[in-house]
Amino acid sequence: MDIKKEKSKSFWAGFLTGAASIGLLITICAVGAIIGQARLYSSVAGNNPFSNELSEFFGYTLPQQQTQQSSSVDGGKLITDDIVKKSDEIYDIIEQAFLFEDDIDRDKIEEAIYDGIFSALGDKYSVYYTKEEFADYLSESEGIYYGIGAYVQIDDATKYPLLTEVFEGSPAEKAGLRSGDIIVAADGTDLNGMELSAAVALIKGPENTNVVLTVHREGVENFDVTATRGKVVIPTVTHEMLENNIGYIKLREFDDITYSQYCEAYQDLKDQGMKSLIIDLRNNPGGNLSTVVDICGEIVPAGVITYTVDKYGNREDFKSDGKNEIDIPLVVLVNGYSASASELMTGAIRDYNKGTIIGTNTFGKGIVQRLLYLSDESGIKITTERYYTPNGECIHGVGIKPDIEIEFDSDLYYSDAAIDNQLQKAIDYLNGK
């Protein structure tokens, strides 16, 4: 009895040590893909803690007002003596009475405590990551992965993973998966209500291994698809010249390399005689703040592109010098999965009247997360600021309403005609101008 009591005390002492020590080895400010969207692949590139798919502000320190406070709730310790006593009592009972004693995993219990702290915040964008999860999260921008090649997020209505984009030539496309498919199960495991990272972990995996996905598609009975995981290389920018010298640029997300890819695409279209431009931000979950600011600097006039405000009222402006302001007609395509940094870009173009927005209402994520290493190289993602459009609007929970609203016609797109009716609307609009 006394030995078990000492074991439980040592467990909670270890938890207290881990919970109290936050080491700011590096921080990353993120407007990006934090709508609960993830890539369905696992990284095989080098683990570089100084790069990820989000915005990078190195040397960041917590606001002065915050550092002067204790790491506490209501002025006291988060883990009080009463909590420690009660936790010891619960763990002692578990060790004495729990039927499946061999299944007790102290590490999992500890990780669940950290998860619970963030779960209790009621903010789906604030998350705790284990060391392994954080390393994987940070390394995903290296560009080469193994998986099925799709973007996924948790569908609010069904609580199942939803494919928001399937990459051309990917294992997912070869298996017949489509954007809009809901993944009900992976290898027989029901995915309902799972955290996104847990669901994705069941779908991604090593090269040349198979995963059986149970798929729900509107108007069709649930069916199984076998996808063979493979190497996935992600182009963040694609472009082509459409009829009547209308340039088309698709931005899938805002990674470190996206700005240079955008500039190359824009210059190529310009060299071909581009007279107007369509920028497609549909299904773009966001990404690197500095990247979207740089791209906006190639479009909008001199002035504020966006600004952020933290809980203390501290404001930071991100500006364009106006030297490369676009001078041709522009259309921006958006939908309900255009989120965060893509909404930031849409808002700046709208507020400066530099383009016409076509599609459906955007997602509505107007808050910023920062990524912080903890002392044991695990990490957290925590909401720290709101961001605003140049005219001072925070679009969080609201999104951006297009100038011209038109729903995507999936039946037409997947028919023999294969017509993207939203893109066609943009083409017709520019031809009319």
Considering the candidates 351, 354, 378, 381, report the single residue annotated as catalytic. Answer: 351
156 and 49, same structural domain?
no
Same domain as 248, residue 207: no
**pLDDT attached to residue 90:** 92
pLDDT of residue 75: 54
Same domain assignment for residues 87 and 207: no
Beta strands per DSSP E along 99-236 = 127-129, 144-154, 161-166, 182-186, 189-190, 210-217, 220-228, 230-233
Mean pLDDT throughout 132-143?
A: 70
At 144, is the pLDDT very low, low, confident or very high (cuts 50, 70, 90)? low
The catalytic position among 8, 276, 340, 342 is 340
pLDDT tens readout for residues 43-58: 222 223 223 333 333 2
Average pLDDT over every residue of 249-256: 91
Q: Is the pLDDT of residue 269 over 60?
A: yes
Q: Taking 50 as the threshold, does the pLDDT of residue 428 lie above it?
A: yes
Pair 170, 117 in one domain: no
Return the pLDDT at 33. Answer: 37
pLDDT of residue 234: 72
- Convert the pLDDT of each residue in 175-188 to its tens digit: 999 999 999 999 99
Examine residue 139 and state whether it is found in any structural domain, yes or no. no
209 and 160 in one domain?
yes
Per-residue confidence (pLDDT) for residue 68, from 0 to 100 = 41
78 within a domain of the structure (yes/no)? yes
The lowest-confidence range among 71-75, 159-163, 215-219 is: 71-75
77 - beta bridge partners?
A: 72
173 and 286 fall within a common domain = no
Asked whether residue 93 falls in the same domain as residue 161, the answer is: no
pLDDT in tens, 274-304: 999 999 999 999 988 889 999 999 999 999 9
Instruction: Reply yes or no on whether 290 is catalytic.
Output: no
Is residue 81 annotated as part of the catalytic site, yes or no?
Answer: no
Domain co-membership, 179 together with 151: yes
Show the domain range for 75.
2-36+44-125
If one compares 237 and 65, the residue with the highest pLDDT of the two is 237
Question: Does 428 lie in the same domain as 343?
Answer: yes
Nearby residues of 116 by Cβ (< 8 Å), 6 or more positions away: none
Please give the average per-residue pLDDT across 138-165, as a whole number. 81
Do the beta carbons of residue 291 and residue 256 sit within 8 Å?
yes
Asked whether residue 95 is assigned to any structural domain, the reply reads yes
The arithmetic mean of pLDDT across residues 223-235, rounded, is 88
The C-alpha atoms of residue 274 and residue 268 are separated, in whole angstroms, by: 9
The pLDDT mean for the chain works out to: 83
Q: Residue 196 — pLDDT band, cuts 50, 70, 90?
A: confident
DSSP assignment of 393-431 equals ---TTT----SEE----HHHHTSTT---HHHHHHHHHHH
Instruction: Output the pLDDT for position 121.
Output: 95
Residue 135 lies in a domain: no
Residue 378 domain flag: no
- Our count of domains for the chain comes to 3
Report the distance separating Cα 337 and Cα 64, nearest Å: 35
Give the confidence band of 65 by pLDDT, cuts at 50, 70, 90: low
Angle (CA) 222 228 234, round 5°: 105
Known catalytic membership, residue 323: no
Statement to judge: residues 223 and 285 lie in one domain: no
Residue 289 confidence (pLDDT): 87
First to last CA, the chain: 82
Residue 193 in any domain: the answer is yes
What pLDDT is recorded for position 188?
Answer: 96
Q: What is the CATH number of the domain that holds 403?
A: 3.90.226.10
166 and 203 housed in the same domain: yes
Catalytic residue among 141, 365, 378, 381: 365
Listed residues 202, 233, 264: the one ending a domain = 233
DSSP 257: T
Asked whether residue 49 is assigned to any structural domain, the reply reads yes
Q: How confident is the model at residue 313 (pLDDT cuts 50, 70, 90)?
A: very high
Same domain, 276 and 347: yes
